[in-house]
Amino acid sequence: MYSGRYDHAIDNKGRVSIPVRFREELQKNGHDRLFITNNIVNSERCLEVFPPDDWWRLVAKVRQKPAFDRNVQLFQLFYVGGAHEVEVDRQGRVLIPPKLRQFAHLDKDVTFSATSDHFQLWDRVTLDRVMGEAEKCFADPNFLSSLGI
């Protein structure tokens, strides 16, 4: 399980170091590769990063859906088709493919943000904006009850 937010920088070759806490979790489970794909949260672009076990579990769920359903096709096109498998190097870095960096507007300053079984990679300024919106939701007393929490 992943938790926390960590600021990092992408180098001029497009590599970024995975946060130590995330790396420890990956190593504990024997993962030296990750799947990175497009995502949109609150109309803002980011990347989702999955360890292989969780990625394949998600893909298996998608494969159980009706293949000719328009929403399933769009999900597969955007999310599954947009995924890249990347290697974690000896220094704990991954190379973010150029198309994914461009999609999520990742230039230099980025933030890793946990989502329990995987994590996201955000442009730092974009995540700050999304976090401001999330904070407004938490200020609404009905927000948590609407989630059943």
pLDDT 10s digits, 60-95: 999 999 999 999 999 999 999 999 999 999 999 999
56: Cα within 13 Å, side-chain hemisphere? 6
Residue 18: band (very low, low, confident or very high) from pLDDT cuts 50, 70, 90: very high
Task: Name 94's Cβ contacts closer than 8 Å, sequence gap at least 6.
Answer: 15, 16, 18, 34, 36, 86, 87, 88
pTM score > 0.75 for this model?
yes
Per-residue pLDDT band for 144 (boundaries 50, 70, 90) equals confident
Residue 132 above 80 pLDDT?
yes
Rounded Cα gap, residues 87 and 35, in angstroms = 9
5-147 is classed CATH 3.30.70.20 = no
- Predicted local confidence at residue 148, as pLDDT: 83
pLDDT per residue as tens digits for the range 35-61: 999 999 999 999 999 999 999 999 999
What is the mean predicted confidence (pLDDT) over 104-109? 97
Per-residue pLDDT at 43:
95
